[in-house]
Amino acid sequence: MTESKGNMGYFCSLVPTEIIMSAGLKPVWMKGKAAMTAAADTHLYPNMCPYIKSVFTDGLEGGDSDCRGLVFARSCDGMRRLHDVWKAYITSEFIYMLEAPKNVDPPAVIFFASQLRDFAVQMGKASGTEVTLPALQEAVKSANKTRGMMRDLYNLQKRSPLPVSGSELFSLGLEILHGDGSETSGRISSLRKKAAGSGQPERGRKKIRVMICGNVMDRPDVFQMIEDSGAEIPFADLCTASRFFERVVDENGSDPFLSLATAYLDAPRCSRTAAPVETYARISDNVKQYAIDGVVLTALKFCDQQMYDIPYLLRRLNEDGTPVLFVENDYVFNDRDRIRTRVEAFLEMLES
């Protein structure tokens, strides 16, 4: 890849980072740093997604200054309003709203591809480097490679004992979300080697295997907290974990935008796009594949996309006999001690 012409921030995993990369920019997923969001409360509303309030608070405090621009997506009502308030109250060099269809069918793929073509043109303008077909093909290959390596790592997590700790793998994934993958390839390789060489059963009691399912979460220390409580986390079905890496873009398609549109709409989806029955089927499948003892289902507070699905998922998992703990979170996990108590009780229940 050519030298980066700067960072381009994005908020939703529906944004194809390959297009950002092919414009010579480094895609950076916008992590929210602000734990207290009073500033955002006055511009948005207290009953809004805490991730959105956190990143907006950062923005008001100049937190996007290392980005040349920002890419929003029509992911949910909250994200649409985040785009609006950002445009109205924060001076940014470049702001783009990507149309992301909510349906997954041929008309949606065709429409999304048309929007990605425009996105590529705008990225080119923002960076001063036109997105060419060879550059896009190279970016697709590069991103596919990184995601493929991460998928391999996740696959190795089916072993017991766990080759790589869940928190370590999650942290690595977050690093990739904050770049184009080139800086992390060495670490992924060494972890793969480490994982491939492991797998001998440890003496003593097997650890409880917990899967974390939800949408946006970027606190490895919460994973660590669960691990410290005596569990291991082979798999995390999150927008910011496994789901991000499960996309495979067709490198030989005649139209790369169509290939990208297909891959991004067709990959495992969050509850914004997926029907609850689809989410349940995926969780259930992963429970079997990763020999999961219990599921920690977590949702950002006020995330309608997820909140509506939770009763359905809890009911279906209970019917299956899959132990599940539901934890609403405020994105920054200010109440982690309270959550620790609940997790510990859940693990005790699983042990017994």
Partner 1 sequence: MLKKYYTEMKSGLDTAYQQKPRASTQMSIQLASIFLEAYRADKNVIWTSFYSFPMELLAAFDVAPFDFEIAANLLPTFNADVAVEIMNKAEEAGYSTDICSYHRLAVGCSMLGYMPRADLLLSSSYFCDGKAKTNRLLADHYGKESISLDIPNKIEKESVDYVAAQLRRIAGKIAEVTGQRFDLDRLRECIRVSNRSRRAYGQLAELQKVTPYPYIGVPVVNMSIFGNMLAGREIQEQIYLDMVEESRKKIMEGNAPEKYRVLWLAWCPVQPTNINQIFRKNGVTIVMGELARNYWGEMDESLPFESLALWSLRNPYVGTIGQRLKGINQIIDEYKLDGVVHFSTDACRHSCAAQKMIGDALKEHDIPYLVLDGDMSDKRKYSPERTQFLLENFIDIMAGRK
How many angstroms separate the CA atoms of 308 and 270, rounded? 13
Nearer to partner 1, 74 or 282 (CB): 74
Phi, psi angle pair for 350, to nearest 5°: -65, -40
Beta strands in the chain (DSSP E): 7-10, 26-29, 67-73, 95-98, 208-213, 231-237, 294-300, 324-329
CB of 166 to partner 1, least distance (A): 27
Q: For residue 194, how many other CB atoms are within 10 A of its CB?
A: 14
Say whether residue 307 binds partner 1 (CB under 8 A): yes
Q: Which of 114, 165, 198, 284 binds partner 1 (CB under 8 A)?
A: 114
Say whether residue 193 binds partner 1 (CB under 8 A): no
CB of 332 to partner 1, least distance (A): 18
DSSP alpha helices (H): ranges in 157-298?
A: 166-177, 185-196, 220-228, 242-245, 256-266, 276-289
State the DSSP code for 274.
S
Phi, psi angle pair for 191, to nearest 5°: -65, -40
CB of 299 to partner 1, least distance (A): 9
How many angstroms separate the CA atoms of 59 and 54, rounded? 9
Residue closest to 157 by CA, chosen among 121, 203, 191: 191
> Which residues between 26 and 85 bind partner 1 (CB under 8 A)?
42-45, 47-49, 74, 76-78, 80-81, 83-85
Say whether residue 319 binds partner 1 (CB under 8 A): no
Nearer to partner 1, 5 or 87 (CB): 87
Q: Which of 1, 121, 248, 314 binds partner 1 (CB under 8 A)?
A: 314
Nearer to partner 1, 223 or 331 (CB): 331
Nearer to partner 1, 26 or 74 (CB): 74
Nearer to partner 1, 116 or 233 (CB): 116
How many angstroms separate the CA atoms of 9 and 29, rounded? 6
Nearer to partner 1, 32 or 181 (CB): 32
Rounded alpha-carbon distances, angstroms, from residue 51 to 119, 232, 338: 24, 26, 20
How many angstroms separate the CA atoms of 259 and 109, rounded? 9
CB of 44 to partner 1, least distance (A): 5
- Give buried/exposed letters for 24-49 (b at 16+ CB in 10 A, else e): bbbbbbbbbebeebebbeebbeeebb
Nearer to partner 1, 6 or 276 (CB): 276
Nearer to partner 1, 74 or 243 (CB): 74
Say whether residue 308 binds partner 1 (CB under 8 A): yes
String marking each residue 251-280 x if it binds partner 1 according to CB under 8 A: --------------------xx--xxx---
CB of 326 to partner 1, least distance (A): 8
The binding site for partner 1 (CB under 8 A) comprises 42-45, 47-49, 74, 76-78, 80-81, 83-85, 87-88, 97, 99, 101-103, 105, 107-108, 110-111, 114-115, 271-272, 275-277, 301-302, 304-305, 307-312, 314-315
